[in-house]
Amino acid sequence: MDGLEDAGPRVTVRQASSDRADFTMEGVDLSFANSLRRTLLAEVPTMAIDLVEVQANTSSLADEFIAHRLGLIPLNSKNVDDVSYTRDCEYCEQYCEHCSVTLDLHARCTGDEIMKVYARDLVVSEPRPNEWVGMPVITDSLGLGSVICKLRKDQEIRMKCIAKKGIAKEHAKWAPVSAVGFEYDPHNKLKHLDYWYEEDPAKEWPKSNNAAWEDAPQDGEPFDYSAEPGKFYFDVESVGNLEPDAVVLQGIKVLQQKLALVIQELSDNDRNGDADGFGAPRSPDGMQAGGDYGINQGYTTPFGDTGGQTMYGGGTTPFGATPYGQSGWQ
């Protein structure tokens, strides 16, 4: 393990396709591998329909129902870094060509047969940040995509859809993956799992396919209390908005950015420490009158700068006064 760590992280790709990547990762610890898994699930940015302006809807489905279905249609998110987050856009307050993609949907049934409206009926409007983002992902052999709704004769829907950049931590529609398989120690040598069984755990808990990649424990082998997991098995399944290798690369990039921010904050605290040698976090003894941590707290609440008060007023909570609402600590 020590030699492997000195060599740095190592990735072995076992299977790769347009929507799935199966690989192993070595030379990292469990915390990093699990952080990458969580990042792939929730923090890789993608595009998804976020706003729907309903101009006409005479179908049997409610506006909200169709809007929800539209939001779950995967949209191409290649080079999504070219798109700004709406909250950070300096050109608009709601949406524009720099932070969004507009898709128009107009369908009307004129025949006696029931008409299906598909994802292919979404028309992307120009301009947009690049030539890829916002296009509906269509993978079926007929080139139809997901069914949005069904219309009978003389029924019509006409909607303007605004796709924005976001992450799955905000809403599941921005999820880049449908699942991330994650496993380590398939033989349970470390005893991190305590299997419940009736008669024979080996028969009732069959080994996964990953067990073939590691040596099985020998009968009577003593337990190694200093052993740590050193090989991790990932199985990333994309929903189609990003290729699986791009999802992994974006996940690593997000982790790097988050760690860089932590390092920057710690460095700033070291440079701006007080005379006592303490950084930004301070104990209640260092609080000024009114309950403020220092001169500039560096943050505000949705209720504005209330000067040490809460949303309930007077520096109190529903459970009565607290030390934060008093003039100082007693």
Q: What is the pLDDT of residue 6?
A: 60
Query: For 239-279, how does the pLDDT look when each residue is reduced to its tens digit (9 = 90+)?
Result: 999 999 999 999 999 999 999 999 999 988 777 764 444 44
Report residue 291's pLDDT band, with 50, 70 and 90 as the boundaries. Answer: very low
pLDDT band of 27, cuts 50, 70, 90: very high
Tokens of 322: 């607290």
Number of residues in the chain:
330
Between 216-220, 257-261, 298-302, the lowest mean confidence (pLDDT) is in 298-302
Q: Regarding predicted confidence, which is higher, 160 or 312?
A: 160
Is residue 299 predicted with pLDDT exceeding 60? no
**What's the gap between Cα 44 and its chain centre?**
5
- Structural tokens at position 188: 């349970």
Nearest-CA neighbor of 173 among 29, 308, 48?
A: 48
Q: How far apart are CA 175 and CA 73, in angstroms?
A: 11
In degrees and rounded to multiples of 5, residue 238 shows phi and psi of: -80, 155
CA dist 58 and 66 (Å) reads 12
Which residue has better confidence, 307 or 179?
179
> Over pLDDT 90: what percentage of the chain?
66
pLDDT digits (tens, 9 = 90+) for 58-105: 999 999 999 999 999 999 999 999 999 999 999 998 899 999 999 999
